[in-house]
Amino acid sequence: MTFGEKLYRLRKERGMSQEALAQELGVSRQAISRWELEEVAPDTGNVLAASRLFGVSTDYLLRDECEQEADTPAVRRAERSLQEWQAAVGKGVLCRVLWLTLFALFHQYRLEQLETGGSPVPIPWLLVPALALAVWTWRLNWRYIQEGGERRALLESDLLAMACAFALPYLLAWVPGGWEILLGLLAAVVCMVKSVKTLRVHYGLPWGKRP
């Protein structure tokens, strides 16, 4: 779509005549007509004025391949960045949920062993996913730190969450029915909310109610 076609469409969407548009831009009606017919091209000043008047970018007005504002390179870059930030936060949340799952499996196994008289030692097959998860966590946090993230805020909430998930079931051993595991996980989730908030705020994603 050419500049003239876009100018015509924007003018019609606003319900403006060529005379009204000419008055807004400080040019003659004939100039508007010639721009829309592609007989001449407007100068830089007029393109900028049209951009401000219609609330669109100059990229949109001047690039024939842009059928709408969303097709401009700046908007596409912003969309890609938003998707990358959302993916980074999503990976962070998934990583922390997997840690809680491992703690839950460990304590479930420990309680079963206590009931059957076995030895409550860590399950060997839990060690492999724990090591893999530790490496993934380190990589995610390293990227966060490299991008200027506040390491202390994230580290404190994560360590507190893991302490709750691991230690509370021991401290609440008097609770019957295995509920101590659930209570430990709930306490850990409360702490992890701060980690998620830290990640979202760092990547410029909304948190809480918008003003």
Cα–Cα separations (whole angstroms), residue 69 to 1, 8, 91: 12, 15, 31
Q: What is the structure's pLDDT at 123?
A: 65
Is pLDDT at 46 greater than 60 in this prediction?
yes
Q: pLDDT tens across 129-162, in order?
A: 888 988 998 888 888 887 777 778 788 888 899 8
pLDDT in tens, 99-133: 999 888 888 888 887 777 766 566 677 788 888 98
CATH superfamily of 3-71: lambda repressor-like DNA-binding domains (1.10.260.40)
Q: Nearest CA to 6 among 45, 27, 43, 32?
A: 32
Instruction: Give 30-45 pLDDT, tens digit per residue.
Output: 888 888 888 888 888 8
Pairwise CA distance, residues 17 & 35, whole Å? 14
Burial of 101 (0-12, 13-18, 19+ CB in 10 A): middle
pLDDT (0 to 100) of residue 207: 75
Q: How confident is the model at residue 211 (pLDDT cuts 50, 70, 90)?
A: very low
- Tokens for 61? 């007005």
Structure-token pair, residue 144? 């966060």
Return d(Cα 123, Cα 156) in angstroms, integer: 27
Q: How confident is the model at residue 210 (pLDDT cuts 50, 70, 90)?
A: very low
**What is the average pLDDT value for the chain, to the nearest integer?**
81
Domain ranges of the chain: 3-71, 74-202
Report yes or no: 70 and 57 within 8 Å, Cβ to Cβ.
Answer: no
Residue closest to 87 by CA, chosen among 140, 132, 150: 140
Please tell me what DSSP assigns to residue 8. H
